[in-house]
Amino acid sequence: MNVIDTEIPEVKIFEPKVFGDERGFFFESFSQKVFESAIGKKVEFVQDNHSKSVRGVLRGLHYQLPPMAQGKLVRVVQGEVFDVAVDIRKSSPTFGKWVGVNLSAENKRQLWVPEGFAHGFLTLSETAEFLYKTTNFYSQSHEGAIIWNDQALRISWPAVANMTVSQKDQLARSFDQANLFS
């Protein structure tokens, strides 16, 4: 597994070594040993989630506050998305910065989105199936969201015709008004 650093040190891209031939392919999609070595701490995943979206669906920017904060290891098993992690830790030197990466069934990359980051993605293919492991259970009373097109963040979302954003995400707070991590 190849571990790729991003502009935000805590956010990592995991790129598997794929072995393929005329029969298909094989790759190791997760190794606790490799993962923990790369991020420098022990992590326990407690929940796996699976979503499907059509082209132009934008989900996010979502997060959960302590004590129910979630780290997420995300990947796409069908289609392609543009995936974003935003540092929402006020005490961080990269506070307000974001990382964006294309995740697809073809490149088989995964993105580690640590606790203290908001997360979102935009579906680029006809459909995309998105899988993610979380380090904490879903808690509606601890969830937060930042509006996807916040001017302070200036996320460079790819241009997609007929973007679809849920009403809940359209009503999300601006970055400067959201409840964030200290």
Query: Computed from CA positions of residues 32, 94, 131, 70, in that sequence, does the dihedral angle turn out positive or negative?
Result: positive
Q: What is the CA radius of gyration of the chain?
A: 16
Rounded distance between C-alpha atoms, residue 70 and residue 181, angstroms: 12
Tokens representing residue 108 in the block: 């088989």
Q: 62 an active-site residue?
A: yes
Q: 119 an active-site residue?
A: no
H-state helical runs in the chain: 32-39, 167-170
Tokens representing residue 13 in the block: 């891209």
3-state per-residue secondary structure call for 26-49: ECCCCCHHHHHHHHCCCCCCCEEE
Active-site residue identified among 63, 119, 132, 138 = 132
Residue 144 belongs to what H/E stretch? Answer: strand 143-145
Active-site residue identified among 62, 63, 119, 142 = 62
Residue 167 belongs to what H/E stretch? Answer: helix 167-170
Q: Which residue has the tokens 């790369």?
A: 38
Give catalytic residue positions: 62, 132
